[in-house]
Structure 1
């Protein structure tokens, strides 16, 4: 059992320890670290959103390049529209885990109607030689159809040029998404931000204890019982960090955001 003198002595030591840990929280530039981390992640997320390919502009120009109502013109328009969607499906399979679950294999794309058996065999032959260009192959088929249309019907050069430019932008948008998928936020950024956040609130656990108001410690004149401001800080900083982790790889599911996971081993 502790007598009153021992109890008072340990109480003073605890108060000194709490004051020391409270000073430690001032040595961690948490706002700066999280601000830098969040700025990098959110700006990367916004660039990915701006890189999303939209086929509407391409297909609207297509209707002017191939305006015919005959069966051949309709087949060409349908084939080009299908190839554009096929390109997106092939590209998104390599980027998004959700699309990968929808199309686990190329055979599933054939079953969905985006690709024929003949095209499947041709795609496999091409990808066996150069696998990295598989997703661009349907766009080459679009160019071949356009070349046939130019040879047979000679559409306006300005419309043809506009269509080619839209096709180029569509391909460039998908390429940018690949680049964002290849080059993620450096893992060390996530580790430093996580370590700083958890260390800060680890020090707060002792440093923000309310001390005896009679001792007149600075900023401890009133015993609030509940550390309201520390709770608000915790909700803000930890919530900021956790939400930001969701933006690291928006194309992945929660369990597959491997580059955003905290690993120290």
Structure 2
């Protein structure tokens, strides 16, 4: 039976786990005490032999062997292989439990889809549920020793009421050399189709939902069969077992306390009981025992799955749900908090303090900011094309462009088109800090062609009309010609509500 101790550790407190160390059933002491005693007796026998039965020459030889074993024992990767092995086994153990065939979803689907209060409708519901339980029983007796001991033959299954004699005859007449746990699922599908033709299942959507729930149940049965068939690779289990036991066989010799008079490094004390070696054996061998117990949870160990309990529970609950509870609904009444907009269930005296605890509002609920940091900033105060920001956007690229070509005037027009001079007409496209709506209209109060060009741009236009340029303190940019400037302004359109879009 599963050892449950969750109630003992419901609250974390000082010494909360100490009580668990005194439990015997399901404990590591019960699993390991025989191996622990064998290891200690073997160590004690070697120690007595070394101290009292060997002569001086034999002692020196034993000491050299002991030092050799102690030096090379750590080459065995016990922690590495054992850690990965136990992690794999524990994950596999929990996944097997998640695949246990529980009929709860199927019984709710049968109750909701197979309608009728007459005897035939009741027979449909009970038979469908019995087929589902029969499939789960057949797979459990195939993988669990406890379930097989309870139902060793098909006659016991028939005698228990999971199968009729006529169904047993059809089951045995089906010629197949493979496990036939899936046969009741096929019967289930055929019987559900018959109920659909008779109108017991009212529409195809309900029939589809019922078959999907059965397939999920059958899938869990199939996964249990595959978990029982495909074990953890034997070579992995053998490697872990050999690594652990060979390591401690080496420790039997290498961890002996040698004569301190010989002056061997690390052998200054002469104790009779190797405390830390025994603790190491307890931990590593106990870790191996965990994997040994969980690798097949369908046995009869203390922490194995209670398959017989699950068989009883599933059969009783499922039959109760599809038969006696069908169409048995309590009277529809107003609940206790019908007129309360904020219903609050009552508290007992032991839990009254929880009523006054504040509810969680979010991790930033109590965050504080300075008053000046909480002031909204107007978007009109932000200049979109700041000249200083634009001139320093590409400092490295600007320095490289100074040396392109024989002279600044020899650069191509395509390269000059990638840059916009700070003093061009496009720099006028920005919001005024005083009047936002007025700034939009001010862009179009005069003809863009009549606007004066910046001084560097005008000088460049006189010297080289085709490729004008302007200068800054550290950079030289090529500006578009006068004919190209109005095209930038023409791309700006003003909507009726005063917003400017490019």
What is the rounded CA distance, in whole Å, between the counterparts of 1:38 and 1:74 in structure 2?
49
Asked whether the 8 Å contact 2:86–2:290 carries over to 1, the reply is: no
Alignment counterpart, residue 136 of structure 1, candidates 170, 182, 189 = 182
Shift of 1:87: 0.8
Taking a change above 3 Å as real, the CA distance of residues 117 and 8 of structure 1, as seen in their structure-2 partners, is closer
What is the rounded CA distance, in whole Å, between the counterparts of 2:100 and 2:241 in structure 1?
30
Asked whether the 8 Å contact 1:210–1:223 carries over to 2, the reply is: yes
Higher relative contact order (CA 8 A, sep 6+): 1
Asked whether the 8 Å contact 2:103–2:132 carries over to 1, the reply is: yes
Asked whether the 8 Å contact 2:260–2:268 carries over to 1, the reply is: yes
Taking a change above 3 Å as real, the CA distance of residues 11 and 78 of structure 1, as seen in their structure-2 partners, is same
| 2:136 is equivalent to residue 100 of structure 1 | no
| 2:204 is equivalent to residue 151 of structure 1 | no
| 2:231 is equivalent to residue 208 of structure 1 | no
Deviation larger for 161-170 or 150-159: 150-159
Shift of 1:213: 3.9
CA displacement 1:72-112 (0-9 Å, x = unmatched): 11111111111111111112222222222111111111111
Flag structure 1 segments of 5+ consecutive residues without an equivalent. 1-5, 255-265
Judging by fraction of residues, say which structure has more helix. Answer: 1
What is the rounded CA distance, in whole Å, between the counterparts of 1:53 and 1:244 in structure 2?
24
Asked whether the 8 Å contact 1:22–1:203 carries over to 2, the reply is: yes
Shift of 1:217: 3.6
Larger Rg: 2
What is the rounded CA distance, in whole Å, between the counterparts of 2:300 and 2:157 in structure 1?
21
Flag structure 2 segments of 5+ consecutive residues without an equivalent. 1-53, 302-502
What is the rounded CA distance, in whole Å, between the counterparts of 2:202 and 2:265 in structure 1?
81
Secondary structure at the residue paired with 1:211? Answer: coil
| 2:228 is equivalent to residue 189 of structure 1 | no
Secondary structure at the residue paired with 1:58? Answer: helix
Asked whether the 8 Å contact 2:139–2:181 carries over to 1, the reply is: yes
TM-align CA RMSD = 2.0
CA displacement 1:29-69 (0-9 Å, x = unmatched): 11112122222322222221121111011101110001322
TM-score by length of 1: 0.85
1:169-188 residue pairs with structure 2 within 5 A?
Answer: 169-188=216-235
Asked whether the 8 Å contact 1:149–1:155 carries over to 2, the reply is: no
Taking a change above 3 Å as real, the CA distance of residues 8 and 47 of structure 1, as seen in their structure-2 partners, is same
